[in-house]
Amino acid sequence: MKELKLKYGCNPNQIPARIFMESGADLPITVLNGRPGYINFLDAFNSWQLVRELRRATGLPAAASFKHVSPAGAAVGLPLTDTLKKIYSVEGMELSPLACAYARARGADRMSSFGDFVALSDVCDKATALVLQHEVSDGVIAPGYEPEALEILSAKKKGKYNVIQIDPAYEPEELETKQVFGITFEQKRNNDHITEELLQNRPTKNKEIPENARRDLLIAMITLKYTQSNSVCYVKDGQTIGVGAGQQSRIHCTRLAGDKADKWWLRQCPKVLNLPFKADIRKPDRDNTIDVYTSDDWEDVLADGVWENFFTEKPEPMTREERKAWIAKNTGVALGSDAFFPFGDNIERAHRSGVEYIAQTGGSIRDDNVIETCDKYNIAMAMTGVRLFHH
């Protein structure tokens, strides 16, 4: 197939729309089910690159959950604790490494992942399809599907779920082009590999970055490579826990991603785990209720006449002091930035969310201030010398 006509472009008024190969070659994808749209394909091709690179860098199955051309979450296939199984809604399920990767990617930021497009680095197995079956999602891209998995996925959304198979051997041309306002831009693709060699320059007093933290820093940097800039990414135990994407200010990226990381951690607090939810509450309602409950707007879900919609009994609010105390227990977090940190305020904010390891480009005229702030908290930082802007 050399081209695929689409229903419309980014918006319904943008007709006609299609994807095709300028070279005249066949497209490297096959649509196995559904009718993917323009934005679906943007998410699919960006997310596929991310999981493919995670697989190469870590040797582990990888998954990503994309929304509007940026990852809401990305992860590799490490086993889940009982607590994570509960907050990711996969208790009692038989989980393969690939299924664990998607459960982590989806669970990183469930609010943002609602209606996601999924990328899987490996052939989709039945276990992963069963995890996907119970989530609100637009589609999935993978290098292949087991027959039972394809049957499960093809039944989603009344048979309209988008299932795309991509040729894992496909490699695009070295030069890529795009048009803006009728003007064509051309550049070399950003196909440089992200490896541990980028973590060798450690100007901080603490130079110890253990193996699991080096893995997490690679995950952060690879995720940033396919995230709309400016971007900052927090990672722990093989998965993103907060992605701050598309902000004009670096500190706002760090705050946004840090707030998401804090939410991820708060969901594991016993007070939140034991909230008395009604048995028939829907997943999206539960996720939104937790998001509000763990914020300063908790009254929006605990007011009389409102809490009855979600809970069997009225829970006590989670105070700001309680939230702060629980967040302080989070440790061992890795953080990546797609460009240099201009000031030490980014480090101050990252420290409050448990960051102990950082990888950033370096090269700011205030590098000394950034290094000094890392030393203040005994944070080990690598300056990679590599910028990862993505637009």
Flag whether 305 is in a domain.
yes
Q: Are both 7 and 133 inside the same structural domain?
A: yes
Residue ranges of the alpha helices (H) in 279-353? 283-293, 299-302, 320-327, 345-352
Say yes or no: 179 and 92 in one domain.
Answer: no
Asked whether residue 27 falls in the same domain as residue 131, the answer is: yes
Picking from 123, 145, 164, the residue at the C-terminal end of a domain is 164
Q: What is the pLDDT of residue 208?
A: 98
What is this structure's pTM? Answer: 0.97
Write the CATH number for 93.
3.40.140.20
Residue 38 and residue 23 in one domain: yes
Residues contacting residue 200 through CB under 8 Å, at least 6 positions apart: 382
pLDDT of residue 122: 98
Q: What is the pLDDT of residue 178?
A: 94
150 and 74 both lie in a single domain: yes
Q: What's the domain count of the chain?
A: 3
Q: Are residues 136 and 276 in the same domain?
A: no
Could you give the maximum distance between any two Cα atoms of the chain, in Å? 63
Amino acid 323: pLDDT: 98
Please indicate, yes or no, whether residues 80 and 224 belong to a single structural domain of this protein.
no
My answer on whether 216 and 342 are in the same domain is yes
Residue 296 lies in a domain: yes
Same domain, residue pair 4 and 33: yes
Residue 1 has a pLDDT of 85
Does a structural domain hold residue 387? no
Active site residues per annotation: 67-68, 230, 391
- Walk along the chain (391 residues) in steps of 10 and give the mean pLDDT of each run: 94 96 94 97 98 98 97 98 96 97 97 96 98 96 98 97 98 95 96 95 98 98 96 98 96 97 98 97 95 97 97 97 98 97 96 98 96 98 97 92
The range of the structural domain enclosing residue 278 comes to 269-316
